[in-house]
Structure 1
């Protein structure tokens, strides 16, 4: 409650308390004079209590002016609260570090609790995409919300905008302006970040996970066995034709040296190819979803170029250059094919692919080496287009719910992550334990980089910090060390050398648009995926591509295009 509102409340209370004295019966007035005075004092004390958030009705609302004034105080020790406070926080926990079973086991959160005075009661759903979404949906339908929810809000029907409109979470603009100086500075210094985290109507609904540096936005691409290339006297391919030459040599020239024709030249991942990495499809200047072409939004899987791409994939499949079991190969099977010296090329992440496999094969096959290849083009020398890249804000963020009775304290607690102290803590951990400053550079210790117990980088740093992602600004210097091998660094540099202007920014849809798009897209995506396999495997002739495109029209692809166009126009106007 601000000063003007406090004064107005006190004035109204004084007038109300004085009303019993305005009577013509003076004798009766004298009789009740003491009672009236006591009533006045009581009402004024209640007004002060309500404004202080000490349990009165005002404290039960979620308005900024009714939050506990304790949250507005600047305490001398830097703490947010003067008395212990516990907040409930819903977030996915997928850690694999031994003895770290929840966020409260992570040293960074333990240090943050000491610094702020706020303890967090973490609520984490069951591990797994389906279980996590189911538990989240049950929580949403119950109406029983924790204080803070960290979630990928595009998965909420209608996104963060609808979650605010439905009264689940609160708009944060005013709170951020008043109580989040660190995050406010990030927004001021990065106009494009503000544009991405703001809805079309100007509201901010979450403290976001931000990857601002371009170095952090790309993490996967095409990769090959470099030792096989060297053995066969081949160069890293850059065009679709060169890829065909390399894959054919992998199949026919026994690069694994076991005198068996057991090599699998290429493993493709339909989900990644059509939704994320875009490997090979990018050569035709489209992706598997919606993209920009000459300033217009198009749906890639119904363009003439998509038919050309499918023809190439079908030809490679017929020649035995693509793993015949690609549609059924999961991550574990992929691992077995790589470490079993069978697979020549695939889409790979720099850490979970190149780094993982080269580390695993170091003792088994010292000659084993992977190389990141450029995203391919059709013509030699052309600039690759539409490689894998992320958005600075992908929709993951911590939102404050309507159930929260300590909004200001929560905002300050979340804002801590965006200051220098919180930034270093959650990206690197504790100085002297998980990192040391070496010539001004936060350098992870040997416990992280050369763990004596054989833990991977992710497992080792998970004891101390959460650099892989949380509501904060991810640090480029984490990624530089995560990609420690020269092959990883080279791959990232290669994959980033792409013209990605055709990717759409993260868009915000109205509740009605979101509901309609979800209904249409579910069937369209299923049909797209089914026909991809049929075309590639030759079960469906590409002579029927026009019928396929017409079916997409009947399923409502043009309506989806209009929804995308409207959302994009609003984004441009933000």
Structure 2
């Protein structure tokens, strides 16, 4: 599985570089001006110092075990500036405002107003013209490049992810104890949440379980996925005449709010969801306090967290909940784009430096490095079976050494792994299947000045109103009033700008 020739190639490359340097020194004595320009050329074999602001999705930062191996494979010295996922919006926007940046910044919030303004303002290198010069980067599809671009300009290397990764993880052992099957409809899902809350699924005779866990965001918590199941558009819908409708202007969105409110009123969802960060949501599931988790990719983390606490825990992934229209729908996160690895001009001052960093990112996609960031060191963290199945050997060690790096892989789709954990392999297959009924956001490749400048501020109006409705603090009339406020505050301008951009793109 692992290629063994790369280091030998580097030795040959290093020898070639040494010969070239000797020739350059000879040229120096007869043509100093030409030699000076030659030394400024991009050298893909030079060792590079890289500072990288990356997002941390685990409770703690990794050890240096895998970092040293990554540095060896990429001929680099890497300094990670880890930003916890829960505080990424605040920390990244503050860094952009202050100009305290790294060589590479993981910009995972492409709809954030501050991020988009910074990209459009020219703070970062445009990299579209360079990608085809690298063996891995050139494989990034035109569709992904377009989706990750702003007004046709690509301001970083796209994080490549599967098209749609959402779905549900349910306690299978709880289903079995209560004589239930995995849900296939919204009504069945509601009944499972009710049973998990009221039916004593853990058998301890106490009223201490809740159906749905959730967290303090609509997008990656329950709401966005539930709204997909109701048939809500992903962000916006566009009709045959090019007219745009915001998702929260649809009946399906309101139906999702009503469903969520009913769950909340009856105690079938965590009452503290509005103040619960992701890590706490995961901990509650792992501790047996909740039985439904939204997000298929979380299965390995949940199983690891449960070790020693709930060794009897079994999880069943579900990616198909039939919508009221009888079809399957699931939202796509930025058309498979997980953000950008962007290069600030304040830190990366020359084209030669940019090219060397692009070579670094390209090398991160090599199978050797992908496996380091996914599994760790073969024989120490994982093994590969006779049929090619991948299996973690020591979960605790893997979590400490490897797991934090996995979310920073530039591509999750270039290499395929047959997971030795049948549950995780089923998740992988369901995520691939999701692509068949994924709902795309039509505005991903479009530009709106209002969205760039005030999109996050406007979005907060709707987020707050939705949460208030779910918690019973406002009624439908109150929600409609907030939608009108959104329209007058810039929502209608945003709509008009998207429609103009859509018409221009489809001429």
Other-structure match for 1:424: 367
Other-structure match for 1:507: 445
Other-structure match for 1:206: 156
Other-structure match for 1:35: none
* Aligned-partner SS, 1:337: helix
* Aligned-partner SS, 1:269: coil
Q: CA deviation at 1:299?
A: 0.8
Asked if structure 2 preserves the Cα contact closer than 8 Å seen for 1:206 and 1:400, the reply is no
Asked if structure 1 preserves the Cα contact closer than 8 Å seen for 2:215 and 2:273, the reply is yes
Pair 1:134-2:94 in alignment: yes
Distance 2:496 2:147 in 1: 21
- 2:172 aligned to which of 222, 226, 231: 226
* Aligned-partner SS, 2:294: strand
Q: How does 1:88-237 map to 2 (within 5 A)?
A: 89-92=51-54, 94=56, 96=60, 99-100=63-64, 105-113=67-75, 119-120=76-77, 122=79, 124=81, 128-129=87-88, 130-139=90-99, 151-152=107-108, 154=110, 163=119, 166-176=121-131, 180-183=133-136, 185-187=138-140, 190-201=141-152, 203-211=153-161, 216-237=162-183
* Aligned-partner SS, 2:167: strand
Other-structure match for 2:315: 370
Other-structure match for 1:454: 396
Distance 1:279 1:153 in 2: 18
Change (3 A) 1:275 1:303: farther
Pair 1:71-2:35 in alignment: no
Asked if structure 2 preserves the Cα contact closer than 8 Å seen for 1:209 and 1:474, the reply is no
Aligned residues: 468
Other-structure match for 1:411: 355
Distance 2:316 2:207 in 1: 23
Q: CA deviation at 1:568?
A: 4.0
Asked if structure 2 preserves the Cα contact closer than 8 Å seen for 1:256 and 1:342, the reply is no
TM-score, length basis structure 2 = 0.76
Other-structure match for 1:307: 254
- CA deviations over 1:301-351 (Å, ceiling 9, x no partner): 122222222222223333332333322333454345324433232324433
Q: CA deviation at 1:223?
A: 2.2
Change (3 A) 1:401 1:51: farther
Change (3 A) 1:568 1:302: same
Q: Which has the higher contact order (CA 8 A, sep 6+)?
A: 2
Other-structure match for 1:325: 272
Change (3 A) 1:412 1:243: same
Other-structure match for 2:13: none
TM-score, length basis structure 1 = 0.68
Change (3 A) 1:375 1:401: same
Distance 2:353 2:219 in 1: 44
Q: CA deviation at 1:205?
A: 3.0
Larger Rg: 1
Change (3 A) 1:401 1:121: farther
Asked if structure 2 preserves the Cα contact closer than 8 Å seen for 1:391 and 1:506, the reply is yes
Q: CA deviation at 1:253?
A: 2.6
* Aligned-partner SS, 1:111: helix
Distance 2:55 2:481 in 1: 45
Asked if structure 1 preserves the Cα contact closer than 8 Å seen for 2:54 and 2:408, the reply is no
User: Where in structure 1 are there 5+ consecutive unaligned residues?
Assistant: 1-44, 55-66, 74-78, 114-118
Change (3 A) 1:525 1:438: same
User: Where in structure 2 are there 5+ consecutive unaligned residues?
Assistant: 1-27
Change (3 A) 1:487 1:505: farther
Asked if structure 2 preserves the Cα contact closer than 8 Å seen for 1:206 and 1:399, the reply is yes
Q: CA deviation at 1:286?
A: 1.2
Pair 1:549-2:493 in alignment: no
Asked if structure 1 preserves the Cα contact closer than 8 Å seen for 2:334 and 2:444, the reply is no
Other-structure match for 1:244: 190
Distance 2:191 2:222 in 1: 26
- CA deviations over 1:81-139 (Å, ceiling 9, x no partner): 4xxx65554433748465329x9x431123322xxxxx546473665523344234312
Asked if structure 2 preserves the Cα contact closer than 8 Å seen for 1:279 and 1:347, the reply is yes
- 1:489 aligned to which of 425, 433, 445: 425
Other-structure match for 2:202: 256
Change (3 A) 1:69 1:276: farther
- 2:224 aligned to which of 278, 293, 298: 278
Other-structure match for 1:559: 493
Q: How does 1:514-529 map to 2 (within 5 A)?
A: 514=449, 516-529=450-463
Q: CA deviation at 1:548?
A: 3.9
Distance 2:108 2:257 in 1: 32
- CA deviations over 1:123-171 (Å, ceiling 9, x no partner): 736655233442343126xxxx7665554483786757864x6453333
Other-structure match for 1:537: 471
Distance 2:380 2:205 in 1: 50
